[in-house]
A and B are shown apart, each in its own frame.
Chain A
């Protein structure tokens, strides 16, 4: 059985926060640019990205690394936390893609909102709040979006079991028809 081409980790190039135009550690992985802001610099980096021509926040999502087996592949200087929020941005002018990934701790799962820079993250941040329990400080309407408003827990967290929800069945109505 032949071994297929694996990810070549040596292709990764890392730029330190001081040298990056956005003030965050930056690296190129598989041809994609990824920057690693901190929770404190999240909004500032967001506005720098917008000013630099990244005119559309395509997507924002989160990953819960609680049950991740192998060692996290993070650049030096980025302290790993349980949650990682991933924002994907596009520049229509340069026709490029960039990702900003921020580490969010489980003890204080609060991240400032990007709503005031990219209003398009409105629903996506609500989805992250709903499914991961990460709060976005300053979001105009931080409420559950996919799950019912009264739902307990955050389903996409790794400690939220599959199939752990009791299903209620109605008792069958009387079949006595005479």
Chain B
């Protein structure tokens, strides 16, 4: 395994890194309840060490907060002293809902959490259920899952490119990112029937085999993307305004990232080469060759560059997956979890009953507990399931990477300018559906 180092010329930011190098900067988090905050009158100074600070509210309906994130910022002039992200506006009790849905319906529930990369949540859920039942999915299902999740990583990072550009004023980038993402979603629509919230990866395999001609569609995408990514490089990576805006902004140290349970591109931007696909491989990631992209400065530019290069790595992976795609079943042929084939339902009463029972009662899962994790575009996405032997999970918990990654936001914001706050929020790339669940 080789490790790609992002070589970026950023000597001018070294002083700032030293200055912020106290670990962990606990003073960065504003510990104040919403009720207390509401009682403070506008422009009234807060009673803190520095009497001149005041509280500024950002969101929840701010275009750069990626949904409904609210930030309470304690400002000293233009500088952020402490801050507190406030979440829960999208909380719909999905973990509670999951306790009332069968394992087959469960995938439709979890897919709605991280709506930018729904296939990963389905995958983590399915892996946990399969671990409990003790079934092994056929090779083709494994490789289809890899193909689809890598494509989803591309579309999710393209969405990040679009929103990151939009947040920083590169409005044309928003259109470009969306345009490319739409091409990938069109492929998803062809395979799963839906652009988002696919319910495609299910316990036991995938919902349907790849449609005829899928290789051409994938190849078309792989041909379309490289010149577009080169355009992004011209528009953003090499552009002085873009670099000025991101380099040295929102620094995070390695110690802080590890202490705050930060995973994914944010952890890798601090120089930790940790990627579950490479370090604790699931599916068949030990049979493909890819690089883990790491940064060295832990700033917003590194996080941007890592995601851009992860698109390239995922394309490289997709190419290998297309080559190695095995033939065979796309779901496990275990009558316990798999409905009978469509053809048999017409001729066999038992098959019809079996089909009906699987979709109404669901299949029973042996009692026990299981944790399964995958590397989503945002970090480690884990699923912890407790089964009591019935057809519904007794408890289903999703470890959303965005939820944990949000914790580092206060530390990135400390000592930065208000104008940089938008760049920092954007570089964390939180999906609030997954944060609030």
Contact = CB atoms under 8 A, between A and B. Distances in A.
Interface of A: 1-8, 29-30, 32, 55-59, 61, 63-64, 67-70, 73, 86, 88, 92, 95-97, 99, 118-124, 127, 131, 140-141, 143-149, 155-156, 162
B24 interface: yes
A64 B390 contact: no
Interface stretch (B11-19, B28-36, B39-47): B28-36
B279 interface: yes
Given A58-B399, A59-B382, A156-B95, A92 B389 contact: no
Main secondary structure of the interface of A (DSSP, over half): loop
Given A86-B384, A118-B259, 4 more contacts: A61-B384, A68-B388, A68-B394, A70-B367
Contacts of B132: 7
A118 B256 CA distance: 10
Contact of B135 (A5, A61, A146): A5
Interface string B289-303: 000000000000000
21 contacts: A4-B337, A58-B261, A58-B380, A61-B397, A63-B386, A63-B394, A97-B371, A119-B260, A121-B261, A122-B29, A123-B406, A124-B403, A140-B26, A140-B31, A145-B88, A146-B88, A146-B436, A146-B437, A148-B88, A155-B96, A162-B97
B384 A120 contact: no
Contact of A2 (B133, B272, B334, B407): B334
Contacts of B26: 119, 140
B355 interface: no
Contact of A7 (B31, B134, B259): B134
Contacts of A70: 367, 388-389
Contacts of B262: 120
Closest 10 CB pairs of A and B: A120-B261, A59-B399, A146-B88, A146-B91, A5-B134, A141-B31, A61-B397, A120-B260, A63-B395, A4-B336
A127 to B, nearest CB: 8
Contact of B399 (A73, A88, A99): A88
A162 B399 contact: no
A30 to B, nearest CB: 6
A92 B272 contact: yes
Nearest to A120: B261
B66 interface: no
A147 B91 contact: yes
A119 B24 contact: yes
B63 interface: no
Contacts of B335: 1-2
B336 A1 contact: yes
Contacts of B31: 140-141
B271 to A, nearest CB: 12
Nearest to B370: A30
A144 B436 CA distance: 12
A122 B259 CA distance: 11
Interface string B369-408: 1110100000010101010111000110101000110110
Contacts of A88: 371, 382, 384, 399
B322 to A, nearest CB: 29
Interface string B273-313: 01000011000000000000000000000000000000000
B100 interface: yes
A4 B261 contact: no
A61 B334 CA distance: 32
A3 to B, nearest CB: 8
A150 to B, nearest CB: 8
A35 to B, nearest CB: 14
B93 A123 contact: no
Interface string B94-123: 011100100000000000000000000000
Nearest to A1: B335
A119 B34 CA distance: 22
Nearest to B379: A58
B70 interface: no
Residue among A68, A146, A149 with most chain B CB within 10 A: A146
B422 interface: no
Interface in B222-260: 258-260
A4 B380 contact: no
